[in-house]
Amino acid sequence: MRFRVVENDGVSRKRHIQSKSHLGFFAPLAGVCLLVAAKNVQGQEALRISMAGDLAAATRQQNASSIGYYNLLLGPTSWRFSSGLGLEFNDNVRLQQNSESDFIFRPSLDAQVHWPVTQKNSLDISLGAGYSAYLQHQDLSQLFISPGSGVSFDIYAGDFKINLHDMISVTENAYENGGVNGGGSGGNRNLISLQNTLGANTLWDLDKGIVNFGYDHVNYVSLSQSQQQPDSASENIFANAGLRLRPEQLVGVEAGASVINYSQSGSANSFAVANAVQWNAGFFGSSQISDYLSARADVGYTVYTPDNTATNVVTRDSSGFYLSVSLAHRVNQHVNYTVAAGRSADMSAYGQAQSYYFVSLEPNWNFFRKYSLSTPLSWRKGSRIYTTTAAGGADYEQITIGLNVSRPLTKKLSVGMSYQFVEESSGVASLNYTVNIVSLNFTYQF
């Protein structure tokens, strides 16, 4: 397939986008078929960034081709605005054994801009930002920027699609990263952090095959008041190539490498870490088994090599296999689910580098008109690759259970309620915690 230029705007431009829609089938070679597991499979850093980049590209393409997605036209640009208000109760805001509860208010604003600079090139800007206001623990109040915010520029040239991007996020929930635990007080578990990813990736369409390669520079900056997290930066390169055996089947090879440097390597605190290098290589396969069932598998080998000159850190090389199997199944009009399982090794920017096994299941139940219901479950059991004498607790296990219900109230206003339970345990009793989170969220689409 070759990308063609469509002469007119409007409907013709939409057809141009749709004419490339089967490109979305090829994208699975880097993880688009892994949509259901991308948030759970952090995996090797370079491989994870490759997957996240392709997922973002597929989402942008789908959004841009959706009728009514944008609600304001300003010259050649299309805009979309929405606002939200979240009300949350958290019974353990510091993730410690002696729990402290609080109410949190989260007003937010989201905006997306699409600018077709030329018939082939387009600029997309997305920003989701808000403020978490803690009623009692005001030291935890902070600004947040939603993952996916940033700037992306797509360039089409012959058989090549080039994407330049700069993505930014500010997050606060340490429990979303299993094994990121520290001192018994729990004060250093509120891992408020900024992540900025600057890079480029190129997709080369060869009709029967496809090649994808790219580079990302990632900065991690700690915003925690305790400053117990080291700031860091990583360099990530990745490449993968796939062959289309049949229209619904794709197989290929994948590889990546990452180098990470910390600003406080070998510090004496519980987040002491060592600079490291990691690489991975393996194979993947994806298949659309039926109209309602699709699957993907990734398997390979990874090697993690920390700097053995770091002080106060017990370092060791680590190598082994990685595996990820995912399945998406629409059972009928009322039930669909996604499931993922495997083994991964993370060169963690915060906390400790670790290897772990994981299982996740997200069923969606559509038994009631206008209501959306999901009950996600996940399990992870891992081990730190290196530790400090202060940290201890090299092994950990985390279980997460959720319940989400949402429905539209009016044409522009929707409401959602959710509950989440997280339990994490390790070899050190003082690091164990449980947390219950109940939230009510309103979203208004302008």
What integer best gives the mean pLDDT of the chain?
A: 80
3-class DSSP assignment, residue 48:
helix
Please tell me the predicted confidence (pLDDT) of residue 352.
63
* Helical H segments across 159-250, by residue range: none
Kindly indicate the confidence band of residue 191, based on its pLDDT and cuts at 50, 70 and 90: low
Q: Which position has the higher pLDDT, 398 or 394?
A: 398
- Report the pLDDT averaged over residues 21-50: 42
pLDDT computed for residue 345 by the predictor: 79
pLDDT in the model for residue 182: 44
**Which of the pair, 241 or 386, is modelled with greater confidence?**
241
- The pLDDT-based confidence of 351 (bands split at 50, 70, 90) is low
- pLDDT band of 193, cuts 50, 70, 90: confident
* Distance in angstroms (rounded) separating the CA atoms of residues 195 and 232: 10
Q: Is 271 helix (H, G, I), strand (E, B) or coil?
A: coil
Position 133 pLDDT exceeds 80: yes
Q: Which residue would you say has higher pLDDT here, 134 or 27?
A: 134
More confident residue, 321 or 306: 321
* pLDDT at 381 exceeding the cut of 50: yes
Residue 48 banded pLDDT, cuts 50, 70, 90: low
- Lowest-pLDDT range of 34-38, 110-114, 211-215, 436-440: 34-38
Is there a contact between 98 and 105 (Cβ–Cβ < 8 Å)? no
Res 165: pLDDT: 96
| C-alpha distance from residue 179 to each of 12, 303, 382, 392, 397 (Å) | 50, 20, 7, 11, 8
| Alpha-carbon gap, residue 424 to 441, rounded angstroms | 26
> Which candidate, 199, 230, 239, 203, places its Cα nearest to that of 217?
199
Are residues 191 and 174 in contact, defined by beta-carbon separation less than 8 angstroms? yes
pLDDT reported for residue 153: 95
* Rounded average pLDDT over 132-140: 92
Please tell me which residue, 231 or 440, carries the higher pLDDT value: 440
Name the DSSP letter for residue 26: H
Write down the residue that tokens 């680590």 correspond to: 318
Q: Which range has the worst mean pLDDT, 118-122, 142-146, 163-167, 375-379? A: 118-122
Both tokens of 186, joined, read 């729990």
The half-sphere exposure of 76 on its side-chain side, counting CA atoms within 13 A, is: 11
pLDDT, tens only, 243-274: 999 888 999 999 999 998 888 644 444 455 67
Is residue 55 predicted with pLDDT exceeding 70?
A: no
Residue that the structure tokens 């429905």 belong to? 407
Closest C-alpha among 105, 173, 107 to residue 134: 105
Q: For the residues 371-386, what does the mean pLDDT come to?
A: 90
pTM: 0.78
Tell me how far the alpha carbon of residue 82 is from its chain's centroid: 22
Q: In this structure, which amino acid lies at residue 373?
A: L
- In this structure, of 299-303, 309-313, 342-346, the range with the lowest mean pLDDT score is 309-313
Distance (Å, rounded) from C-alpha 322 to C-alpha 210?
A: 23
How high is the pLDDT of residue 313? 60
Q: Is the pLDDT of residue 179 over 70?
A: no
What was the pLDDT predicted at 8?
A: 37
Return d(Cα 120, Cα 19) in angstroms, integer: 13
Q: How high is the pLDDT of residue 119?
A: 81
pLDDT of residue 158 exceeding 80: yes
pLDDT at 125 over 50: yes
pLDDT band, residue 231 (cuts 50/70/90): confident
Least confident piece of the model among 80-89, 290-299, 341-350, 407-416 = 341-350
What does the block give as tokens for 394? 């090299």
Q: Are 276 and 44 in contact (CB under 8 A)?
A: no
Please answer whether residues 32 and 41 qualify as being in contact, where contact means their C-beta atoms are separated by less than 8 angstroms.
no
Burial class of residue 291 (count of CB atoms within 10 Å of its CB; 0-12, 13-18, 19+): exposed
11-445 CATH, one of 2.60.120, 3.30.70, 2.40.160, 1.10.10: 2.40.160
Assess whether pLDDT exceeds 70 at residue 13: no
Query: How many Å apart are CA 197 and CA 218, to the nearest integer?
Result: 4
Mean pLDDT, range 66-81, rounded to an integer? 79
User: Residue 295 has what DSSP assignment?
Assistant: E
pLDDT at 227: 52
Structure tokens at 93: 């805001």
Instruction: Specify whether the CB–CB gap between 49 and 31 falls below 8 A.
Output: no
pLDDT for 43 equals 40
Lowest mean pLDDT among 53-67, 193-207, 276-290, 339-353: 53-67
Higher per-residue confidence, 113 vs 95: 113
Which pLDDT does position 238 carry in this prediction? 95
Of residues 36 and 265, more confidently modeled: 265
Q: Which is nearest to 132 in space by CA: 193, 94, 195, 85?
A: 85
C-alpha distances out from residue 362 to 94, 246, 270, 328, Å: 27, 29, 34, 10
At residue 31, the 3 state secondary structure works out as coil
